[in-house]
Amino acid sequence: MATAAIHYSQHLARVYVWMCGGAAAALQAGAAEIAALDLPGCPGALVADLGAGFGMHAIPLARSGARVLAIDSSPMLLGTLDELRGDLPVRCIEADLLSFRSHLTEAPGAILCMGDTVTHLPELAAVESLVETAFSALPRGGVFVLTLRDYSVRLAGDCRFIPVRSDDARILTCFLEYTADAVIVHDILHDRNPDGWHTRVSHYRKLRLPPARLINRLEAVGFDVRREAGVGGMVRLVARKP
């Protein structure tokens, strides 16, 4: 099975902006999410965006006055971020998000891990390590914000086929398969070429991480945690270091 990094580099990265409705619409949606967060110290603060992708949150953050450290393992998505950011203060680093602390030059006012990125981690121990590192990297009053999908309830039968986006030239459908602690996400991509439709399929593993379990880990290291409804059916956790 492909790792998340390979799945993105060989399959998903080239259609990711399209999947999100195009850059303009995605950045507008990201800006609305950022505005709702009312992050401490913005403008002016350093914010680390872990698994930043093409900058759906990093770019609106920088537009609102933050200096952003954007970390992602996909060079293609970071390349798009770099094109979209213009002169905005976003520093792009191609790295594993678990290593984010080694790229910080000062304590960040906030750390974000948005868009279901945390479930891309390989196992629960990696999530625990991320939570501990985020707590120790933040100053008092700093926040760690995560948005994730709750895969703890299994979809069954036809409900496991999820139409993601389609237009005249492309169709993307997800198929979900469950194991005890993971969901295998099959991304089925149909592209229309001059000679007809071409189908490519790739799959990768996401953690089934019940939000209550993540909240327990966040609270165990010392965060005060607020659970809210995120966009598109995601769960948003706002963890503040007291």
Ligand X SMILES: C[S@@+](CC[C@H](N)C(=O)[O-])C[C@H]1O[C@@H](n2cnc3c(N)ncnc32)[C@H](O)[C@@H]1O
Binding-residue total with ligand X (CB under 6 A): 19
Q: By CB under 6 A, is residue 77 in contact with ligand X?
A: yes
**Residue closer to ligand X (CB basis): 53 or 109:** 53
The Cα-based distances of 78 to 56, 151, 187, 201 in angstroms read 11, 27, 21, 23
Q: By CB under 6 A, is residue 96 in contact with ligand X?
A: yes
Between β-strands 224-229 and 196-207, what pairing exists: parallel, antiparallel or unpaired?
Answer: unpaired
In whole angstroms, the minimum distance from the beta carbon of 182 to ligand X comes to 14
Give exposure, 102-139, as e/b (b: 16+ Cβ within 10 Å).
eeeeeebbbbbbbbbbbbbbeeeebbeebbebbbebbe
Residue of 115, 142, 211, 230 interacting with ligand X (CB under 6 A): 115
Q: By CB under 6 A, is residue 97 in contact with ligand X?
A: yes
In whole angstroms, the minimum distance from the beta carbon of 160 to ligand X comes to 19
Q: By CB under 6 A, is residue 120 in contact with ligand X?
A: yes
Residue of 45, 59, 92, 114 interacting with ligand X (CB under 6 A): 114
CA 240, chain centre distance (Å): 19
Q: By CB under 6 A, is residue 133 in contact with ligand X?
A: no
**Residue closer to ligand X (CB basis): 57 or 241:** 57
Q: By CB under 6 A, is residue 116 in contact with ligand X?
A: yes
**Residue closer to ligand X (CB basis): 109 or 115:** 115
> What strands, in cross-sheet order, belong to the sheet with 90-94?
90-94, 67-72, 46-50, 110-113, 143-148, 235-240, 224-229
Classify burial at 85, counting beta carbons within 10 Å of its beta carbon; exposed 0-12, middle 13-18, buried 19 or more. Answer: buried
Token digits of residue 154? 């299994």
Q: By CB under 6 A, is residue 80 in contact with ligand X?
A: no
Helix (H, G, I), strand (E, B) or coil at 115: coil
Helix (H, G, I), strand (E, B) or coil at 213: helix
Q: By CB under 6 A, is residue 117 in contact with ligand X?
A: yes
Residues 17-76 that bind ligand X (CB under 6 A): 51-53, 56-57, 71-74
Helix (H) or strand (E) holding 11: none
Q: By CB under 6 A, is residue 185 in contact with ligand X?
A: no
Fill in the amino acid letter for 24.
Answer: A
**Residue closer to ligand X (CB basis): 75 or 156:** 75
The residues binding ligand X (CB under 6 A) are 4, 8, 51-53, 56-57, 71-74, 77, 96-97, 114-117, 120
